[in-house]
Amino acid sequence: MFEINPNLSDIVSDAAAGLREHLSAEPTITAAAPGRVNLIGEHIDYCDGFVLPFAIDRYIVIAGCANGTQQVRVGTSFNSEIVVFDIEHPQTPGDPKWANYLRGVIRGFQDRGHHIPGFDAYIVSSVPGGAGLSSSAALECATATFLEGLLDTVLQTREKALLCQQAEHDFAHVPCGIMDQFASAFGQANQLVLIDCQSGEPELVPFESPDLTVLISNTMVHHELSDGGYALRRKHTEDGLAIIGKSSWRDVTEADISAHWEALGEPINRRCRHVVGEIARTVDASEALKANDFEKLGPLMAASHDSLRDDFEVSCTELDLMVEAARKIGRAGGVIGARMTGGGFGGSTVTLCESNKAAEIAAAMADDYKKATGITPQIFASRPSRGAHLVD
Ligand code: GAF
C-alpha cells in the first residue's frame, strides 16, 4: 500500500482554519502551488538542456487577507511561530530562513513597481519538505499567486516563474535552473511539462493513461541544496563548457568531450559526460513517451540514474538502494523505469510502473529499503496536476 495524497480542498480548509485560529483573520485570497517530480533530465536545466517534470498533486496553500498595516504577519503549519516583518521598504533576506522564500517573491513584485499592502497569511503544505520535490518552488509560486490576488493583477506565467527563480537565487542563495518554478507554474492535469531550457519554452505532453502510475519514494534522507554541492556542480559544468570552448551545451557532442578529456580533468570531464548524455536521453525519453514506447523509456531512466550516481555524483547510498529495490522487481514485476529525481544528495526517487501492480511494487520497495537502511520510507503515487492558481 502507499500513502494517499491529501485532497487540495482539505488543505485549503486547514489554511483557512489556521488563519482564523492563529491570526484572527478571515481569508479573502487563497493561492495553491504544487511541488514537482522530474521523470528525466536532471541537472541540465542550467545547461540549456531539456527536462521532463510534472506538477504533483501535493500543494502549498496560502490563505490570507490585507490587514490595513505596513506589516506582513504569517503563520504556518510546519512552524509554530508567527513571523512578522515590515513591508514598507524593499525586502532583504533575514531570519527565519523559510520566510525568505516569501520575502524574495515580495521583492520581485516590489522591483516591478508594485506597492504591496500589509497582509496576514497562513500556510499549509502537503509537499514533503527536504524530499527533492520542490517545496521551495511551491512556496515561491504560491506566494506569487497570492500576491497576484492581493494586488488584483496577473503576471504572465513565464514571468511569474522567472521572478520566483530569482527569489531562490537572491534570497535562498541556490543558483537553481528554471525547472522547478516552471513545473509549479505551468503544470496542468494529465500533462508533463517538457521544458526546452535554452528557449525557456514549455511544451505540455499528455500523460493520462490510467494504466501508468508514477511512484514517488522519499528516502527520508534530508536533501539540502544550499550547502554548496549544487552550486559546485553548476560551476563544474560552466568551467567545462568554457574549456570545451562552445557557447551552449546544445552544440557539444560526445566527441568534443573525448577530445578535451585530459584538459577537462577529473571530475569535470565526467560532469560534462553527464550533461551531454542526459540531454540526449531526455530528448529520446520524451519521444518514447509521445510514442507510448515504454520499453525504450525504462533503460533511459536507468542510464540517467547511473550517470547521476557515477559521473555527476549527486546520488547517495539511500537513493541507490531505493532505485535498486525497484530494479529488483524489474519489468516482469511491472516496473518500467526508476531513478533519483531532483537535485539529489538525498530526497526521492521516481518509479514509473504498471498501475495494477503499483501497490504491490510500493510495498516491496518499502520492505526492501527498510531492511537495507532501517528507515521507513514515504511512498506515494502522483498524477500530473494543476499548477499554481487562486482557489475560488
Ligand atoms: C533542483 C534545482 F532547483 C533545479 O533547477 C534542477 O537543477 C534540479 O535540482 C536538478 O535537475 O531541483
Q: What residues contact 352, with CB distance under 8 A and at least 6 apart?
A: 39, 212, 213, 214, 215, 294, 297, 298, 301, 335, 336, 337, 338
Average pLDDT of the residues of the chain? 96
Nearest to 33 by CA among 115, 101, 110, 112: 101
Instruction: State the distance from the centre of ligand 1 to the C-alpha of 230, rounded, in angstroms.
Output: 8
CB of 27 closer than 6 angstroms to any ligand 1 atom: no
CB of 339 closer than 6 angstroms to any ligand 1 atom: no
Question: What is the value of ipTM here, to two decimals?
Answer: 0.99
Cα–Cα dist 54/375, whole Å: 27
Ligand 1 atom with least separation from CA of 41:
11
Q: Ligand 1: which residue has its CA nearest to atom 7?
A: 43
Instruction: State the distance from the centre of ligand 1 to the C-alpha of 54, rounded, in angstroms.
Output: 13
pLDDT digits (tens, 9 = 90+) for 212-259: 999 999 999 997 776 789 999 999 999 999 999 999 999 999 999 999
Residue 130 region by backbone torsions, left for phi larger than 0, else alpha for psi between -120 and 50, else beta: left
What is the residue type of 387? G
For residue 224, the model assigns a pLDDT of 72
pLDDT at 297 over 80: yes
pLDDT digits (tens, 9 = 90+) for 348-386: 999 999 999 999 999 999 999 999 999 999 999 999 999
Per-residue buried b or exposed e for 359-392, using 16+ beta carbons within 10 Å of the residue's own CB: eebbebbbebbeeebebebbbbbbbbbbbbbebe
C-alpha cell recorded at residue 97: 530562513
Q: Ligand 1: which residue has its CA nearest to atom 3?
A: 176
Is residue 4 very low, low, confident or very high in pLDDT (cuts 50, 70, 90)?
Answer: confident
Mean pLDDT to the nearest integer, 25-30: 98
CB of 42 closer than 6 angstroms to any ligand 1 atom: yes
* 8-state DSSP, 45: G
For residue 228, the model assigns a pLDDT of 87
pLDDT at 327 over 80: yes
Q: Ligand 1: which residue has its CA nearest to atom 5?
A: 177
Instruction: State the distance from the centre of ligand 1 to the C-alpha of 178, rounded, in angstroms.
Output: 8
Q: What residues contact 266, with CB distance under 8 A and at least 6 apart?
A: none
Instruction: State the distance from the centre of ligand 1 to the C-alpha of 92, rounded, in angstroms.
Output: 24
Location of C-alpha cell 488563519: 19
- Which of 179, 235, 249, 339 gets mutated to test ligand 1 (max ligand atoms within 8 A of its CB)? 179
Q: Ligand 1: which residue has its CA nearest to atom 2?
A: 176
Instruction: State the distance from the centre of ligand 1 to the C-alpha of 131, rounded, in angstroms.
Output: 12
Cα–Cα dist 384/57, whole Å: 7
pLDDT at 136 over 90: yes
pLDDT above 90: percentage of residues in the chain: 96
Residues labelled as active-site residues = 180
Q: Quote the pTM value.
A: 0.97
C-alpha cell recorded at residue 252: 557539444
Cα–Cα dist 199/43, whole Å: 17
Q: Ligand 1: which residue has its CA nearest to atom 1?
A: 343
C-alpha cell recorded at residue 281: 536521453
CB of 133 closer than 6 angstroms to any ligand 1 atom: no
Cα–Cα dist 115/132, whole Å: 33
Q: What residues contact 247, with CB distance under 8 A and at least 6 apart?
A: 241
pLDDT digits (tens, 9 = 90+) for 305-315: 999 999 999 99
For residue 226, the model assigns a pLDDT of 66
CB of 45 closer than 6 angstroms to any ligand 1 atom: yes
CB of 180 closer than 6 angstroms to any ligand 1 atom: yes
Quick check: 78 and 96 in contact, CB under 8 A? no
Judge if the upstream peptide bond of residue 117 is cis by omega within 30 degrees of 0. Answer: no
For residue 1, the model assigns a pLDDT of 61
CB of 43 closer than 6 angstroms to any ligand 1 atom: yes
CB of 177 closer than 6 angstroms to any ligand 1 atom: yes
CB of 342 closer than 6 angstroms to any ligand 1 atom: yes
Ligand 1 atom with least separation from CA of 43:
11
